[in-house]
Amino acid sequence: MSLTGSVEVIEKHNSLGIRTVTRVFALPTVIRLGRYVKTPTRRVLLNRKNLLLRDNHRCQYCGESGPNLTLDHVIPRRKGGEDTWENLVTACAPCNSKKGHRTPEQAGLRLKRPPKRPSRITFIRQSARLAHDSWRPYLFMD
Ligand SMILES: [Zn+2]
């Protein structure tokens, strides 16, 4: 697309390239499309991976991180709690066990922040933390 002029390469990777028999092309990290392409507005899917990303892989009660994080219903299912962005949080196993089938107040726990549906740009920013540094200025992360 760069060779045909349909995109403009804005940022390139410093060390990676696309090698042909006779040439090496720098691997683009940021491109600008030659024409506007309207994309459908998509909501961030509610699933375990995205909940962990929203909560920065940290327990929302004590702040611990680690490989054994669980998902907790703030209002337990038994009490009518649903599978929603506003009712699911990441919790470490000890906090989830301590909370059990109670509300945070009943269990003496307090959420670090109220859970909410992430906006698409917020979610892209969180995902981009693991991506190339050259994306940061374009996502207003600097
Ligand atoms: Zn915890």
Taking the C-alpha atoms of residue 51 and residue 57, their distance in angstroms, rounded to an integer, is 8
Distance 93 CA to ligand 1 centre (A): 7
Number of H helices, E strands in the chain: 4, 4
Count of domains in the chain? 2
Clarify whether residues 26 and 50 are in a common domain: no
Domain that holds residue 30: 1-38
* Residue 66, pLDDT above cutoff 90: no
Within this chain, do residues 110 and 133 fall inside the same structural domain, yes or no?
Answer: yes
Compute, in angstroms, the gap from residue 90 CA to the centroid of ligand 1.
9
Question: What separation in Å is there between the alpha carbon of 81 and the centre of ligand 1?
Answer: 20
63 and 115 in a common domain: yes
CA distances from 63 to 12, 31, 77 (A): 37, 37, 23
pTM of full prediction above 0.75: no
**Which CATH number goes with the domain that contains 128?**
1.10.30
Same domain, 132 and 68: yes
Using one digit for the tens of pLDDT, what is the confidence trace for 80-134?
Answer: 999 999 999 999 999 999 999 999 999 999 999 999 998 888 777 777 766 778 8
